[in-house]
Every structure is written in C-alpha cells, then in structure tokens.
Amino acid sequence: MTIKDIAAYCDVSVSTVSRVLNDHPDVSPAVRDLVHEAIRKLHYVPNNSARSLVSSRSTAIGVVSRGVDNPFLSSLIRVLSREIHDRGYTMVLHQIATQADEVQAAAMLEREKKLLGVIFLGGRFNYTEDELRQLTVPFVCCTYTNTFGDLREDAYSSVSIRDEDEAEKAVRYLVDHGHRRIAVVLDDPTDSSIGQLRFQGYRRALTRCGLDYDPALTVLTGNYALSAVYDGICALLDSGADFTALLAISDALAIAAIKALTDRGRRVPEDCSVIAIDGLEMSLYTVPTLTTLCQPAEELARESVEMLVSLIEGTGSHRHKLMETVLRPGASVARLREA
Amino acid sequence: MTIKDIAAYCDVSVSTVSRVLNDHPDVSPAVRDLVHEAIRKLHYVPNNSARSLVSSRSTAIGVVSRGVDNPFLSSLIRVLSREIHDRGYTMVLHQIATQADEVQAAAMLEREKKLLGVIFLGGRFNYTEDELRQLTVPFVCCTYTNTFGDLREDAYSSVSIRDEDEAEKAVRYLVDHGHRRIAVVLDDPTDSSIGQLRFQGYRRALTRCGLDYDPALTVLTGNYALSAVYDGICALLDSGADFTALLAISDALAIAAIKALTDRGRRVPEDCSVIAIDGLEMSLYTVPTLTTLCQPAEELARESVEMLVSLIEGTGSHRHKLMETVLRPGASVARLREA
C-alpha cells in the first residue's frame, strides 16, 4: 500500500494526497474527506520516502519554552509544532518554569535527545558567550533577541519584535487619546527580559511626550501571576493613585487588570483606558474588547523554524529578523474628556 | 564535573542539587539560586546516569493533541511535558486540527519517531479495533474514553471525567437556582465526542428535572470557533428566544457567550446566568467571574503519564480511571427572581 494506491483509489493526483497528509490548506474539504476515508478504509500508514531516509538519524528539534502559563507562547507552540513536522523534523517540547535556566535545560536536552538544534521561546535576553558553550548545536531565540548579553551577532539567530518601540507606540496611542497619567503593569523592570525592554519603551514614551515618570504608577507582578496583577491594581486604586490609563505588557496581564478595575467599580474605558501588547484571540472576547498591539505569532514561529532548519541543513547562516506589531483597536481605550 | 562537585561547591546534599535540577517545589528560593549559580559558574551539564543508560534507545512518548486552539489542552500539555521529562522520557508533541485523524497521525509518528507509547489529548470517542491496528504501541486517552467505539477495555487505557454526569450536574445547578429555560452552547451534538456526551447530560438533566427540551435553545459552533459562539448567541437573542440561563460545554465557549450577551445589552447574571465546564485560570478574570466545574487538569495529565509509563515498562496493565470535577462558584449564575 503506497500513496499511489490511495491516489488511484480516490482518482486524484499523488500530490493531492500528499497535500492532504501534510494538512495543507489548499485542498477542498470534499477531497480531504475522500482521501482520509480511503486511508481509513485501506489502513494505509503514510511513511514517505524523505522521512524514511532520515529515520535512522535524529530528527529532533528542541523547543524550550520558559514561562509555562503564557497563552501567547501556547499559540506559538501550535505553529512551531506544525512547521517542524511539515519539514520532516520532530518537535521535542520542554517547558520550564519562569525562574528556571533555559540554557542549562537545552544543554541537557541536547545530550539526552540528540537534538539537531534548539528554539528558545520566551527566554532570557542576557546570554553570555561563556554559558552558551554548553550548547553545541545552533539555536534561534523566538520572540526576543540577546539585547543584554555579549553574544556575537553571527553566533545565534533571533526573530523578535522591537519591544521598546512597540511599548512606546502603545503609550503614544494613550497620549494621543488625551491621557497624561498612565500606569504600567509588568513583571520586573530589571529582569533583562521583555518586561525590562517594554518598561524602557514606556519611560521613553513619557519622556518624549514631555510627561513625568511617576514610580507610584508601576505595578510589578513577579512571575507574571494574574493574581498578583489583580492584587496590584487593587492596591494601586486603594492608594488613591491618580491615573486614567494603563499599559499592560501582555494581554493576559491586561485581562487581570480589567477585572480588578471593574471589581473596584472603575469603568473601562470611561474611568480608565487599557492597552496591551500580544493580540491573543481571547482578547477579542474580554468585556470590553481589549485594544492591543498584535504580534505576528504565525510569522514569528514560522521564521524561527525556517532559520533553524537552514542552519541545520547548512543552507543558511545566523540572521536576526525584526517584525512589526499591528494595532487591533478594541473598546478599552477612550479619549480623555477635559476636566 | 558531576552532581557531587556541584553539591560540594554549594555545601548542600546531592539530593538537594537533584531536586533543584528536577524543578521540585520543596527547595527554598535561596538554595535554588545558589545551585543554579554554581551550575552556571562551573558550566556543569547535568546528565544523570539513568538518563545516560537509555540514551541509545528511543525514549519518545508521543502526545497527539487534537483541537489546537483549546486552552484547556494547553494546560494539560504543560503538565504532560513536566511529568514525561521527570520520568526520563521525551515528549514528542504533535498537534493536529480538530478535523484531522489522530490515529493516523499517531501511527505515522510511531513509525517515524520510534515512539514507545502515545497519549491522545482531546481525541475521538469512537475508535474501532480495526483502525487501531495501525498502532503497535500502547496508548492512553487523556480527558476521554472510547464511549462510542468497539475497543475492548483491556486494549487501551483512559483517564477522563464523566462528561454526561458533569453536564447534568451543571444544568442541575442552574435549575436549583430557579432556571427553567436553559440554552446550551456546544460544537456538534452528534460528533461522538465530549460535545455529544455533555449534550446528552444536558438533555438528561432537563428530563429528570421535568423540563422540556427546546431545540431552538441549542447553539452549535462548528470547530469550537469562538467567533461562531459569538454569532450564534447574537442570532439566538435576535430570534427572540426565551431563556434565562446557559450551559457552555467549555470555559472558552462561555467567555465568548458572555461577550455576546454583554454586547447585546444582556447583563450576566441578572438577565442570563452562565455556567461552564473546564476551570481555566483565565475564567477567574472574566467579567463577571465565570462559574465553572473545574476538571482536575493536573491529575488527568499525571495519571495519563503514569499509566503509559507502567505499560511501557511492563509494570501495569490497561486501566480506566474516572475523575470528578469541582464546582468553582463565580459570579455568573444568579437565582432567578419569580416574575
């Protein structure tokens, strides 16, 4: 039983069957059903030659994901899974806690699972050449680049957004809507990570817009815990702090912030506007709909796999790609009325 | 460099270092930081002997997850990742679309990646002995069991909740709060899946409570698309349908339903109560907080790995375990006032 038999049985081309097997979108539902039905009926187990040829050596690509409760990373893992599989490799997923060290985890995994390469998701921004010697295979930083470390640019690859610029863009959007007292919700402003860069972007925006930075309007969560966001916003309100808008550095944090504001009787956006960065599907269904800068999740993940595969196969060298977010206006930002 | 050197350097026991390496919670943050610091400084790559011994043979456990946009499954994958790793195995994750066939995907993966076993997440409930012959390694159904198929009980393992009973429990909770006209949001009532079982539970509850089933109060989504839930609820309201409460068969569907109700000017819970089944963390932050029956995600995933590992290692035989949900009362269900 081969793919040719299935094609003949269904009276379609071999490449059509192949497209169905690889879940490509350009096949009509009717043909897809026909092929799947034939595969079931004939008990065909696909095992194409390219895949068979490599089956004796490792095909493993490690994905080391840091920060296990991050729904944005879940959406990336979904795309990584598909892209890695479609290129004939195997995704070995290893999720570690926010505090754990992904370089060490990757080095262990590399030895144990004979990885050909590693994609880091949500990792640290401060790798040193010294510690990266633990890793002997190529790696790609997905969603970040090594801003605070000392790696040579040609020693690793990365795909990311310009976190500092994007945070500035979000704050400017609030300023353009008349807001002057803008709070920020983040994890830790000194963690050499997305949080630090987005916090820098927040402060840069304030400076460039001629606004003062007020440390009292900074809500720190620690480990991106939603309960800490909730408690932090409640404490901020209880302190009598004066603010009319808020930037959360991720959609999930924004959702918890909206909840706290609402529970304390503040209307969003009438009493407080909220903007975030991520673009989760779930944020389309918050009350009110979250205004957010959408990261190109699909492209971030696809480009990461493409970079790593070209390094593994020796057809490309290390690269760094920067992508843009797209504003998805919701109903969580309102123009500030003059008092 | 061995684990003993790290322990000596830090002046802690070898088992403490081991606990840190395995991310066990019972280590103080100070000791954890100390050990990680030493590991970084000494460039130690952990590679314990049990893992080394098996490195020449496959350690791969396949996790085939169906329905890639399901946040409940994301939370299970997190636990599966940790449990599989802790037991010295490798998680090979393969995510497939809701319409794709997980048995075929698993059979391909088994050949290509030399899997030792498979955990199916969110799969079909209607496997036949015939089609399962494609698979030659043991498998565990996680979150469901083969209700509609013809597998012998001793031919596979499963860990699940009693979907029908749990849906009945949710409806009874609404009835106990005075509701008589209860809508239901699900994917497809004839898909031999969670949706069908929970729909049966909904209907059984109505019957047992002496209430009529009204087909007009059924909102079908197709592929669990949140946009379809939203549109479906809006259409239901526009049709002038008379209902005071709603069961969504998953938290994600409930979040989209609450959004539609709110956007159409219905207050939740004053005008319409909402209950769901899942217990996502995110559902603690909806406005209002979602009342939901929480599945024991941690236990479902842990038990699945335990079952599969005991089958792989020949220390256990096929088993079927049923678990209970726990009601997490939010603010989305109100007692119906007498008209």
pLDDT tens, position by position, A41-64: 777 776 543 444 444 578 899 999
Burial B153-164 (b: 16+ CB within 10 A, else e): eeebbbbbbbbb
Q: Is residue B40 domain-shared with residue B102, that is, in the same domain? A: no
Contact across the interface for A45 and B99, Cβ inside 8 Å: no
Q: What is the DSSP string of B39-62?
A: HHHHT-----HHHHHTTTS--EEE
Beta carbons of A71 and B258 less than 8 Å apart: no
* B330 assigned to some structural domain: no
Tell me: do A153 and A167 sit in the same domain. Answer: no
- Whether A212 maps to a domain, the answer reads yes
What's residue A46's pLDDT? 62
Q: What is the mean pLDDT of residues A310-339?
A: 93
Q: Are residues A226 and A132 in the same domain?
A: no
Residue A165's pLDDT band, with cuts at 50, 70 and 90, is very high
For B127, nearest residue in chain A (alpha carbons): A40
Contact (CB, 8 A) for A201 and A163: yes
Q: Same structural domain for residues B265 and B194?
A: yes
Residues A177 and A117 in one domain: no
Within 10 angstroms of residue A24's Cβ, the number of other Cβ atoms is 13
Residues A108 and A251 in one domain: no
Query: Domains in chain A: how many in total?
Result: 3
For residues B63 and B153, membership in a common domain is answered with yes
A121 in a structural domain: yes
Task: Give the mean model confidence (pLDDT) for residues B258-270.
Answer: 97
pLDDT of residue A53: 40
Q: Residue B238 burial (CB < 10 Å; 0-12/13-18/19+)?
A: exposed
For residues A99 and B271, which has the higher predicted lDDT (pLDDT)?
B271
Which residue did the predictor score with more confidence, B141 or A59?
A: B141
Candidates B251, B278, B282, B289: best to mutate against A (most CBs of A within 10 A) is B282
In a domain, A331, yes or no: no
CATH number of the domain within which B8 lies:
1.10.260.40
pLDDT at A56: 54
Set of chain A residues whose Cβ sits within 8 Å of the Cβ of B286 = 259, 286-287
DSSP codes of every residue in A60-116? EEEEEEE-TT-HHHHHHHHHHHHHHHHTT-EEEEEEE-TTS-HHHHHHHHHHHHT-S
Name the residue range of residue A109's domain. Answer: 57-161+296-324
pLDDT in tens, A232-277: 999 999 999 999 999 999 999 999 999 999 999 999 999 999 999 9
Residue A334 lies in a domain: no
Q: Are residues B197 and B231 in the same domain?
A: yes
Do B70 and B297 form a contact (C-beta atoms < 8 A)? no
Say what the pLDDT of residue A51 is: 44
A284 located within any domain: yes
The fraction of chain A above a pLDDT of 90, given in percent, is 66
Q: What is the pLDDT of residue B30?
A: 85
Which of B77, B90, B226 lies closest to A285 in CB terms? B226
For residue A131, what are the contacts with CB-CB under 8 A and spacing of at least 6? A103, B40, B43
- Give the chain B residue nearest A90 (alpha carbons): B92
Half-sphere exposure of B322 (CA within 13 A, CB side): 8
With beta carbons under 8 A apart, name residues in chain B contacting A114. Answer: 55
pLDDT above 70 (res B90): yes
pLDDT at A97: 80
HSE at residue A86, side-chain half, CA atoms within 13 A, is 18
Terminal-to-terminal C-alpha distance of chain B: 77
Confidence of residue B46 (pLDDT cuts 50, 70, 90): low
Cβ–Cβ below 8 Å for A40 and B282: no
Q: Are residues B90 and B194 both part of a single domain?
A: no
Same domain, A168 and A290: yes
For position A174, what pLDDT does the model report? Answer: 98
Domain assignment present for residue B83? The answer is: yes
- State residue A272 phi and psi, 5-degree precision: -155, 125
- pLDDT for res B42: 78
Does the predicted model carry a pTM greater than 0.95?
no
Q: What is the ipTM score, two decimals?
A: 0.82
Q: Which residues of B touch A230 (CB under 8 A)?
A: 285
Picking from A255, A275, A294, the residue at the C-terminal end of a domain is: A294
How many CB pairs below 8 A link A and B? 152
Mutation for testing the B interface, residue in A74, A82, A129 having most B CBs under 10 Å: A74
Q: What is the pLDDT of residues B148-158, one digit of tens each?
A: 999 999 999 99
Q: Which residues pair with A183 in a beta bridge?
A: A246
Tens digits of per-residue pLDDT, A102-147? 999 999 889 888 899 999 998 889 999 988 998 999 999 999 999 9
pLDDT tens sequence across B296-313: 999 999 999 999 999 999
Mean of the per-residue pLDDT values for chain A? 90
Is residue B24 pLDDT above 80, yes or no? no
pLDDT at B7: 87
CA distance linking residue A178 with residue A334, whole number of Å: 9
**Cβ contact (<8 Å) for B101 and A131?**
no
Closest CA to A246 of A266, A263, A226: A266
Q: What percent of chain B has pLDDT over 90?
A: 66
For position A57, what pLDDT does the model report? 72
Q: How far is A246 from chain B (nearest CA, A)?
A: 17
Whether B152 and B254 share a structural domain: no
Contacts of A149 in chain B (CB under 8 A): none
pLDDT at res. A95: 86
pLDDT at B55: 45
For residue A339, the model assigns a pLDDT of: 55
Q: Which of B92, B119, B234 should be substituted to probe chain A, the one whose Cβ sees the most A Cβ atoms within 10 Å?
A: B92
CB-CB neighbors (< 8 A) of A96 in chain B: 23
Q: Which residues of A touch B113 (CB under 8 A)?
A: 59, 90
Instruction: Check whether residue B266 and residue B192 sit in a common domain.
Output: yes
Q: What strand order describes the sheet that includes A273-278?
A: A218-220, A182-186, A245-248, A273-278, A291-294, A326-328
Tell me the CATH number at B68: 3.40.50.2300
Instruction: Give the pLDDT confidence score for residue B268 in this predicted structure.
Output: 97
| Closest CA of chain A from B328, distance in Å | 16
Residue B170 placed within a domain = yes
